[in-house]
């Protein structure tokens, strides 16, 4: 029997097929497979395979020197962690430290000496040999032998105290016009005011933060990576109170027990107001202070007269903090004891001037905080090592102390201070006519972009580095960052570069390799047989005297050990000067008057106060782990570069809307920013963020020098730029 296959049958088959499709898994499976096929590609990375092992070392991203435990696959670190209960930092690592193992592969990495070609704002590089760069420096040194301004051969090092710093100083001492400089933008510089009060340059001091019950912080980002970050975090966890004196509602101010939003530039006035209350309400222990300082009575009388005008009523008018609150804070400092006063600095806004520092640190003397057993304690210095103990060393100078246009050749050690450095601060010290700038950096980022030549240096965990004590450490400490990797072939250790240069110009080279120099330094520490060494493998603290040999001591340090000195029982004699040793009462009063009138509210051309802000370790535009985008770009938890925060009232006055693009205009120029209304900003103030440079996160094909807020800040002769009068321009 036959039947014709008609149109109806076709319809039935199609219809049945469609109905059947719903009940079969095939189409769903195909969709699923298709999505998987189109999602998986050969370039999706596969993690390394291999044995898992652990190694210990020290982070060198900043000067804190936090100990790390690296989890490795074979020899490759795949994660870094703090070491729990470590006596130096209590096991804390900052977000940047967590990504320290990424830096060796950073896209901005340089693996060969290069010449930088500047075309407008664009940068390109050409490979050169190390010998070419040496030859250029030699020619400059030979042709400029006369000791005069304009002929300086300078080395800029913002992490003095390392073994390499001593090598730089020894080298510079041998050449005519050799000058060793720092920018004075790091946290150590914020302590200079304290040393001025104590009249001592050779005695180092640190902080016994763990003992403080209250900390009055003048602008220090205490909970955002200040000093050794883990110490402050630990103190906070144990109930230490924080009173934050800062214009901006920073992260630290947000979680502080009290936020004291003083008008920008009036921090020192506020400090003098507190001193006034402490003295006039007899809140200071004069017996204790007389015992500590021989000239106390005379000094106090002078100081009392000097600050007599800074009554709470006057200070309230200048700072914007209520009169009664000023009294209350001063009383609180003597009841919630021991209380420590910290003069810090915002990482982007730069340091306080020396006079402001003196006014702030002086409170510690009135509170009886200085001296062994107190909150500001003396500590020993770490010896320089046999290579340098009897060698002539160039003295340490601050770049702002040099005359303008005085540097002919500038070599830059790119170890970051973690703080912003306006290029103008350096540029104005260079000769106008063809200066030579050489950077010793692993990356084409930060200040290196401004250099003429770059010697590629080893990066984090690629070479043996030493870590002198952080400025806040209460005793001397010393550690060695042991390498995990071998650096690429053409990477040159800065000391090796100096040796080649020394050989070329015919001066004495340093002895042995850089590791040998560090080894000599550890031998000198070991010889004193003082203090302890913390062994991370077993969490034990052993006495240095119990380590059998110097070799064993070195071996401990080279495996993540941390040497910690004994506390110093007695300090050098000091004679207090609450005006600072470089001032008399007259000059101090004059400086205070200058500070007092700096708030620009009466300036009609520039009615706003511009205060930059940023995060330590990121604002210097140096390379950071690309994962830092988790806190910036991907969440906007921290503000990116050129984001301007203003109070809505200020915005309304300037006829702006939230999110508008506009310009900030100052005497030094103008900059395009994006406005963000924020009602926690002080009216009349504009805070502009300095975030990571995109090149320093992910690297880009076309490297550019980008303008940021530092380029429009007015830089004072003393090297500060905390506040700039500004106005908001037109869109």
Partner 1 sequence: MNNRNKVTQDNQKHPRYGMVVDLDKCTGCGTCSLACAVENNQQPATPDMTNRTGNTWMRMYKVHNGKPFPDSRAVFVPMFCQQCDDTPCLYVCPQNAVELDPMTGIVAQIPERCFGCRYCMAACPYESRYFNWWDPVWPEGMEKTLNPDVSPRMRGVVEKCNFCHGRWQRARAKAASEGRRELREDEYIPACVECCPTEALTFGNLDDPKSKIAKLVDDPNIFKILGRLGTKPKVYYRTTRSWVRNAVDRNIYSETKETVHG
Phi-psi region of 458 (alpha: psi -120 to 50; beta: other; left: phi over 0): beta
Question: Shortest distance, CB of residue 410 to partner 1, whole angstroms?
Answer: 30
Pick 197 or 681: Cβ nearer partner 1? 681
* DSSP calls for 27-70: HHHHHHHHHHHTT--TTS-----S-EEEEEEE--SSTT--EEEE
Minimum separation from the CB atom of position 630 to partner 1 (A): 5
The stretches of 506-569 forming alpha helices (DSSP H) are: 514-528, 550-557
Q: Which is nearer to partner 1, 433 or 489 (CB)?
A: 489
User: Least CB distance from residue 481 to partner 1, whole Å?
Assistant: 18
* Phi, psi of 37, deg, nearest 5: -60, -40
d(CA 104, CA 102): 6
Closer of 312 and 684 to partner 1 (Cβ) = 684
Q: Residue 672's CB: how many other CB atoms inside 10 A?
A: 13
Nearest to 346 by CA among 214, 472, 253, 448: 253
CB of 507 to partner 1, least distance (A): 38
Angle CA 404–422–589, to nearest 5: 70
For residue 640, what are its two tokens? 């990116």
Shortest Cβ 629–partner 1 spacing (Å): 4
Please name the residue that has the structure tokens 């003196």.
358
Q: State which residue, 536 or 580, has the beta carbon closest to partner 1.
A: 536
- Min CB(82)–partner 1 separation in Å: 7
Does residue 77 contact residue 461 with C-beta atoms inside 8 Å? yes
Closer residue to partner 1 in complex, CB, 548/637: 637
DSSP strand pairing (376-379 vs 204-207) = antiparallel
Nearer to partner 1, 100 or 385 (CB): 100
Q: State the minimum distance, in angstroms, from the CB of residue 506 to partner 1.
A: 40
Smallest distance, Å, CB 23 to partner 1? 16
Q: Distance between CA atoms of 343 and 357, rounded to whole angstroms?
A: 6
Which of residues 105 and 291 has its CB atom nearest to partner 1 in the complex?
Answer: 105
CA distances from 255 to 209, 244, 444, 527, 656 (A): 18, 9, 36, 45, 30
For the CB of residue 238, give the shortest distance to partner 1 in the complex, in Å: 10
698 forms beta bridges with none
Residues facing residue 260 across a β-bridge: 245
Place of tokens 């870590």: 467
Least distance (Å) from partner 1 to the CB of residue 458?
Answer: 15
**Distance (Å, whole) CA 140 – CA 121:** 27
Q: Which is nearer to partner 1, 3 or 49 (CB)?
A: 49
And the tokens for 538?
A: 């077993």
Of 397 and 630, CB closest to partner 1: 630
Residue indicated by tokens 């092992």 = 53
Q: Is-contact 412 448, C-beta < 8 A?
A: yes
**β strands within 575-684, DSSP E:** 608-614, 643-646, 661-666, 669-677
Nearer to partner 1, 259 or 296 (CB): 259
Min separation Cβ 424 and partner 1, Å: 26
Which value, in Å, is the radius of gyration of the alpha carbons in the chain? 29
Residue 112: CB minimum distance to partner 1, A: 16
Q: Which two tokens stand for residue 111?
A: 């693996």
> In this complex, which beta carbon is closest to partner 1, that of residue 66 or of residue 436?
66
661-666 vs 562-564, strand pairing mode:
unpaired
Which is nearer to partner 1, 567 or 699 (by Cβ)? 699
């Amino acid at each position: 029997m036959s039947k014709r296959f008609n149109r109806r049958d076709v319809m039935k088959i199609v219809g049945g097929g469609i109905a059947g499709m719903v009940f079969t898994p095939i189409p769903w499976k195909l969709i699923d497979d298709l999505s998987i096929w189109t999602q998986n590609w050969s370039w999706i990375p596969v993690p390394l395979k291999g044995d898992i092992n652990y190694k210990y070392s020290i982070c060198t991203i900043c000067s804190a020197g936090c100990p790390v435990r690296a989890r490795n696959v074979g020899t490759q670190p795949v994660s870094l962690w703090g070491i729990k209960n470590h006596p130096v930092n209590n096991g804390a690592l900052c977000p940047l430290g967590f990504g320290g193992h990424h830096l060796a592969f950073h896209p901005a990495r340089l693996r060969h000496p290069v010449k930088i070609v500047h075309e407008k704002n664009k940068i390109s590089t050409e490979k050169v040999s190390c010998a070419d760069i040496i030859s250029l420096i030699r020619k400059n040194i030979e042709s400029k032998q006369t000791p005069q301004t304009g002929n300086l051969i300078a080395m800029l090092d913002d992490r003095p105290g390392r073994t390499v710093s001593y090598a730089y100083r020894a080298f510079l001492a041998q050449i005519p016009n050799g000058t060793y400089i720092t920018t004075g933008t790091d946290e150590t510089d914020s302590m200079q005011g304290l040393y001025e009060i104590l009249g001592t340059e050779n005695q180092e001091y640190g902080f016994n933060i763990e003992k403080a019950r209250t900390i009055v912080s003048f602008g220090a980002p205490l909970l955002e990576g200040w000093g050794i970050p883990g110490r402050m975090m630990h103190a906070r966890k144990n109930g230490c109170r924080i009173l934050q004196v800062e214009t901006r509602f920073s992260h630290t101010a947000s979680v502080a027990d009290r936020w004291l939003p003083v008008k920008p530039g009036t921090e020192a006035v506020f400090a003098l107001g507190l001193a006034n209350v402490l003295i006039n309400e007899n809140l200071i222990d004069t017996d204790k202070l007389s015992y500590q300082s021989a000239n106390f009575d005379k000094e106090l009388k002078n100081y009392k007269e000097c600050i007599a005008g800074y009554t709470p009523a006057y200070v309230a008018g200048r700072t914007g903090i209520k009169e009664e609150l000023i009294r209350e804070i001063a009383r609180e400092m003597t009841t919630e004891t021991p209380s420590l006063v910290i003069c810090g600095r915002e990482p982007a806004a730069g340091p306080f001037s020396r006079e402001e520092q003196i006014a702030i640190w002086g409170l510690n003397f009135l509170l009886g905080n200085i001296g062994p057993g107190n909150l500001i304690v003396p500590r020993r210095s770490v010896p320089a090592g046999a290579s340098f103990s009897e060698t002539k060393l160039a003295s340490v100078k601050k770049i702002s102390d040099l005359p303008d246009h005085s540097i002919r050749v500038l070599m830059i050690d790119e170890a970051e201070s973690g703080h912003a450095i306006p290029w103008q601060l350096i540029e104005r010290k260079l000769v106008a006519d063809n200066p030579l700038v050489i950077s010793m950096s692993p990356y084409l980022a930060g200040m290196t972009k401004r250099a003429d030549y770059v010697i590629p240096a080893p990066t984090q965990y690629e070479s043996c580095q030493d870590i002198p004590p952080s400025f806040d450490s209460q005793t001397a400490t010393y550690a060695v960052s042991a390498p995990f990797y071998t650096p690429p072939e053409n990477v040159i250790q800065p000391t090796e570069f100096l040796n080649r240069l020394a050989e070329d110009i015919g001066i004495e080279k340093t002895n042995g390799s850089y590791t040998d120099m560090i080894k000599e330094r550890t031998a000198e520490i070991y010889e004193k047989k003082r203090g302890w060494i913390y062994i991370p493998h077993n969490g034990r603290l052993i006495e240095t005297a119990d380590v059998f040999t110097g070799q064993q001591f070195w071996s401990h340090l080279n495996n993540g050990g941390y040497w910690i000195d004994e506390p110093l029982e007695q300090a050098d004699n000091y004679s207090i000067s609450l005006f600072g040793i470089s001032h008399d009462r007259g000059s101090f009063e004059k400086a205070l008057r200058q500070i007092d009138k700096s708030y620009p509210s009466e300036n009609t051309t520039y009615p706003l106060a511009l205060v930059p802000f940023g995060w330590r370790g990121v604002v210097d535009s140096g390379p950071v782990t690309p994962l830092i985008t988790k806190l910036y770009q991907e969440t906007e938890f921290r503000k990116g570069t050129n984001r301007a925060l203003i109070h809505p009232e200020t915005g309304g006055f300037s006829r702006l809307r939230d999110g508008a693009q506009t310009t900030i205009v100052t005497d030094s120029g103008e900059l395009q920013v994006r406005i963000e209304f924020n009602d926690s900003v002080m009216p009349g103030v504009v805070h502009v963020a300095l975030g990571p440079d995109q090149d320093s996160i992910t690297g880009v094909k076309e490297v550019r020098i980008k303008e940021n807020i530092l380029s429009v800040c007015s830089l004072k002769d003393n090297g500060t730029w905390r506040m700039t009068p500004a106005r908001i321009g037109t869109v």
